[in-house]
Amino acid sequence: MTAALPDAAARAAQDPPNGAEVLVRTLLANQVDVCFANPGTSEMHFVAALDRIEGMRCVLGLFEGVVTGAADGYARMADKPAATLLHLAPGLGNGLANLHNAKRAQVPMVNIVGEHRQGHKATDSALTGDIEGIARTMCDWVHTCSSADHIAQDAAAAVQRANSRPGRIATLVLPADTAWTQTRNRQPVVLAPEPPTLPSDQRFDAALKALRSGENTILLLSGRALRAGALEDASRIAQRSGARLLAQYANGRIERGRGRVVIERTPAPVDQGVAAFRDARHVILVGAKVPAPMFGYPGKPDYLMDPAATLIELTQPSDDLPAVLKELAARLGAADAAPLLQPEAPLPLPDGALTPDAVLQAVSALMPQQAIVVDESVTAGRAFFPISRASAPHDYLQLTGGAIGDGIPMAVGAAVACPGRKVINLEGDGSSMYTIQGLWTQARERLDVLTIVFANKGYKILKGEMANVGAGTWGARAEQMLSIVNPEISWVKLAQGMGVEAAQATTTQELLRLLRHGLAMQGPFLIEVQLA
Amino acid sequence: MTAALPDAAARAAQDPPNGAEVLVRTLLANQVDVCFANPGTSEMHFVAALDRIEGMRCVLGLFEGVVTGAADGYARMADKPAATLLHLAPGLGNGLANLHNAKRAQVPMVNIVGEHRQGHKATDSALTGDIEGIARTMCDWVHTCSSADHIAQDAAAAVQRANSRPGRIATLVLPADTAWTQTRNRQPVVLAPEPPTLPSDQRFDAALKALRSGENTILLLSGRALRAGALEDASRIAQRSGARLLAQYANGRIERGRGRVVIERTPAPVDQGVAAFRDARHVILVGAKVPAPMFGYPGKPDYLMDPAATLIELTQPSDDLPAVLKELAARLGAADAAPLLQPEAPLPLPDGALTPDAVLQAVSALMPQQAIVVDESVTAGRAFFPISRASAPHDYLQLTGGAIGDGIPMAVGAAVACPGRKVINLEGDGSSMYTIQGLWTQARERLDVLTIVFANKGYKILKGEMANVGAGTWGARAEQMLSIVNPEISWVKLAQGMGVEAAQATTTQELLRLLRHGLAMQGPFLIEVQLA
């Protein structure tokens, strides 16, 4: 009844390796060298393999939403997938909301989900569940490995799929016996990414026709069309044609700030969103979706465009968006046009009451070059985009799927991907509480993350939505469901409890002092902003 | 473009009501009067309806895992479903792990999951997802409401299904427009629960044959067979036949302590589990599953019973387990037998080092009558069952699905269900961090919960599992994945940060003092036990 296999340390020196070792070597051979993990029993051989093989950075999350959110933030900045390590169906379930956000950010990710050994699943023991069924609701590629002999091929296929444009989520389910069984297929498989595509001439011609029409045209951008170089080509097109640039409301990453192309986002509130598109006769989509409000409201439209306007879907998901914009600029004869770049402009420090906009002003003025701003501030940070237009060049990452709880983890992943760059996480108080455990990982890994919690003491966005959906005024019972006072939360204590230095700002002067401190130091720091 | 509907307050005075109001009234008419909620935009009309209609207790969770875990704990103690209110696909995803535990505890639950208004889903806006697909992986009944006119019928059907034996999870997906549209079907529908069943004569005869065989027989119990009255009948059967009583390893609720029937659980470690069944020639299942270890291990069996033993599945899920045991006792002629009840026995207070068993001794000695013990202590609490055998009569609730993160929420739900009874949550440090946000709900609702965190600074169970799966010794990288030191967590600060009074015990004397304080006070208290 005792284990029949030799001790792992002894086996490590032997041939052949087990499936877990081949898996780790295959991930490394395919340039996947960071693993965000929350392991359980079924993943112990993978953990043991990580221990024996050099080259994989392992980052522990105390909750799976931290793991998948970190992999989201990592991929947005690294432009390649991290691996995640998750435990069976409930572990994947806990990671699901941030897989949703990651899917909407179109990032590459490779999930390794441990499963019972083949044969044990039939016992329906306590942790048995429908892993593939859960994974399919959020992932582009789902496969259960059937043998240690197939692991190299399966893992390479997962990474290949993840790296296919625009970035996809691949989930490899790993029965414990495929990890612990030895295999002679020891050679890592490396698969080249699927090559990105370009639009047909027909699609280019449709876009060119709109751009040359002299009519009001919007170039609606998302995905990798929002990187600095691609935006310069987009701006050349706009400058030459008179078209207007607009980003989707939610995007995985935008490179912006002074010296970079000026671009606005589609407004979130439905009425403003409709107004932004009202005069457009043509809307050209480059990596963007048909613009729609976040929710359907009574008596309000489900799409933002004027129904009479022309929709031109220039790109498809497999397209190389920067190449598309370069080609479109060339075909338009705009390759030599000068892009419209954000000039230097004063960034005054705030000096009045400690309002949300005062915080945004302070951050915009003080952020260093190449900061990474992770924005999950929901209502409080709504004005960040206009206020920070002339800030130092930075990357702007935002909540893409509307599932709050991605901010703190995303900051973890961005910091792991970009050592040497400051990560600034603008965080709503309500949203922070979904994955607050991510602060511990920031402390353990000494990640250079400054978290700013906007303590407005409630789900402020929902109070607005009560009116938007026509539910009208509300009383004490609803207020209890929309507020997070009674008791008030101390984010300072929560952060300190997880090893993150933290302090509270109750005035603008305190905020400025703490902000300067947090930006100057290395490592995680949290500021709890008690809003006026 | 503005909302066409009248203001809700004005509408409330009018006829007819909207779907959300009919839903709330139907839940109340079917005895569902507690709603654990984490709402979003799509649920605002439901929140507004809760506000206007008396009778529903609304409890806010700051994370959906708290909501579903609380509904689990509530149902275990109330023997009826709570409603949960969840926001779209990611909100349901966040609640999934504790739905898994609840499913394994066989509790009734009614999830209301908000969905986009019908028609808006086609826009694939940011929060769109496959709600039904996610729900089906964990729920017994899933239905999307298609019209406000059907809400009363749909909600009643959901409650009816939830209340069918042994207790099931029903999920009603509620498109926003079905909530906000007015309906003339205003009358709540009330559906009687499906009647429970009894085994056929054939099944009874098979069990009786084994009990009369004179051979070694185990009566393996779970579910409602573990309530005090049912256990007395089980004990009568055992006393008369010589059969041995054994509970499944993981069970939703056991009524035990002095004056109640003595019953052991199947041991968790596979070798001990096999040993427990080795001599049994017959195993009779009453609400229990075919006994299997939690995981499959190299070279170890997937089932605990001797393959040559007879398995008798006396019950099916729809059976009324206490009635089955009463009938079996009668057919055996054991109705007049005296059950074997736990006598008074000394419960010494610990006085040595602050070990896990010292904590368990202290809790066992000091717990009040009718305490509810919620055990998610994983490794640290393994000896609780034998140590607390002669404790004051209490309910024992444990992690049923192996998905850690149910303890703190379950304590929330048990306390809501049973005001006036002390809830004692034995909590592992690793497991506490999955749903630590539940402490805030304990503070807000002033719930009478004493939480004891066993700070052993790591996923201690996994260190054991490394050996069990034959992964052998491990080095620094694996240690980083199995430990939660560096930085150390302060549960005292985490609790205080969420409004829960807390203190640390580093000696047994400190523990006893804090335990007496926590048991004497009303409201939540947390003790962080720094284990020796």
pLDDT-based confidence at A7, cuts 50/70/90? low
Can you give the pLDDT at residue B14?
Answer: 59
Mean pLDDT value across residues B366-388: 94
* CA dihedral over A357, A362, A368, A373, signed as positive or negative: negative
Q: Enter the ipTM.
A: 0.95
pLDDT over 60 (residue B248)? yes
CB contact under 8 A, B93 and A97: yes
A37 forms beta bridges with A60, A85
pLDDT over 90 (residue A454)? yes
For residues A381 and A258, give the distance between their C-alpha atoms in angstroms, rounded to a whole number.
Answer: 20
Higher pLDDT pick, B381 / A459: B381
Mean pLDDT value across residues B418-447: 97
Domains of chain B: residue spans and CATH: 8-180 (3.40.50.970), 201-332 (3.40.50.1220), 356-530 (3.40.50.970)
C-alpha pair distances (Å), A417 with each of A32, A72, A156, B288, B479: 12, 11, 21, 49, 23
- Give the predicted TM-score (pTM) of the model: 0.96
A489 interface with B at CB cutoff 8 Å: yes
A209 interface with B at CB cutoff 8 Å: no
pLDDT tens by residue, A174-231: 999 999 999 999 999 999 999 999 999 999 999 999 999 999 999 999 999 999 999 9
Element housing A397 (H / E): strand A394-398
| Amino acid symbol at A47 | V
Percent of chain B whose pLDDT exceeds 70: 97
A298 interface with B at CB cutoff 8 Å: yes
pLDDT tens by residue, B93-131: 999 999 999 999 999 999 999 999 998 999 999 999 999
pLDDT over 60 (residue B2)? no
- Which residues of chain A from 22 to 61 reach within 8 Å of chain B, CB to CB? 37, 39-42, 44-45, 47-48, 50-52, 58, 60
Question: What six digits make up the tokens of B20?
Answer: 């959300």
- Which residues of chain A from 229 to 258 reach within 8 Å of chain B, CB to CB? 249-250
CB contact under 8 A, A298 and B180: yes
Nearest to A296 among B117, B249, B430 (CB): B117
Mean pLDDT of chain B: 94
Alpha carbon B59 to its chain centroid, in Å, reads 17
Cβ atoms B201, B167 nearer than 8 A: no
Nearest to A300 among B1, B292, B472 (CB): B1
Q: Pseudo-torsion of CA B144, B150, B155, B158, nearest 10°? A: -60
C-alpha pair distances (Å), A512 with each of A46, A58, A367, A376, A527: 46, 35, 12, 21, 10
Find the DSSP H helices in A79-218.
88-94, 96-105, 131-136, 151-163, 176-180, 201-211
* CA dihedral over A92, A97, A103, A108, signed as positive or negative: negative
CB contact under 8 A, B298 and A5: yes
Q: Pseudo-torsion of CA B376, B380, B386, B390, nearest 10°? A: -70
Which chain A residue shows the shortest CA-CA distance from B1?
A300
C-alpha neighbours within 13 Å on the C-beta side of residue B16? 15
Can you give the pLDDT at residue B523?
Answer: 98
Percent of chain A whose pLDDT exceeds 90: 88
pLDDT tens by residue, B20-79: 999 999 999 999 999 999 998 888 999 999 989 999 999 999 999 999 999 999 999 999
**Please, what's the b/e burial string for A448-470 (b: 16 or more CB within 10 A of its CB; e: otherwise)?**
bbbbbbbbbbbbbbbbebbebbb
Closest Cα to residue A225, out of A328, A78, A72?
A328
CB contact under 8 A, A94 and B125: no
pLDDT tens by residue, B279-307: 999 999 999 999 999 999 999 999 999 99
CB contact under 8 A, B489 and A126: no
pLDDT tens by residue, B255-277: 999 999 999 999 999 999 999 99
pLDDT over 80 (residue A315)? yes
Can you give the pLDDT at residue B92?
Answer: 98
Can you give the pLDDT at residue A308?
Answer: 96
CB contact under 8 A, A48 and B474: yes
CB contact under 8 A, B471 and A94: no
Nearest to B96 among A96, A136, A402 (CB): A96
pLDDT tens by residue, A204-220: 999 999 999 999 999 99
Can you give the pLDDT at residue A3?
Answer: 36
For residues B393 and B364, give the distance between their C-alpha atoms in angstroms, rounded to a whole number.
Answer: 10
- The string of DSSP letters for B90-159 reads HHHHHHHHHHHHHHHHT--EEEEEEEPPTTTGGG--TT---HHHHHHTT-SEEEE---GGGHHHHHHHHH
Can you give the pLDDT at residue B10?
Answer: 52
* CA dihedral over A85, A91, A92, A97, signed as positive or negative: negative
The residue assigned the tokens 């994983």 is: B378
CB contact under 8 A, B470 and A436: no
Question: What six digits make up the tokens of B440?
Answer: 């805030």
Residue A476 with chain B: CB contacts under 8 Å: 51
CB contact under 8 A, A481 and B58: yes
A127 interface with B at CB cutoff 8 Å: yes
pLDDT-based confidence at A41, cuts 50/70/90? confident
B97 interface with A at CB cutoff 8 Å: yes
- The string of DSSP letters for B174-231 reads EEHHHHHSB-S--SPP--PPPPPB---HHHHHHHHHHHTS-S-EEEEE-GGGGSHHHH
Residue B299 with chain A: CB contacts under 8 Å: 1-5
Can you give the pLDDT at residue B35?
Answer: 97
Cβ atoms B412, B447 nearer than 8 A: yes
Nearest to B462 among A2, A44, A120 (CB): A44
pLDDT over 80 (residue A14)? no
Can you give the pLDDT at residue A466?
Answer: 82
A302 interface with B at CB cutoff 8 Å: yes
The residue assigned the tokens 């465009």 is: A305
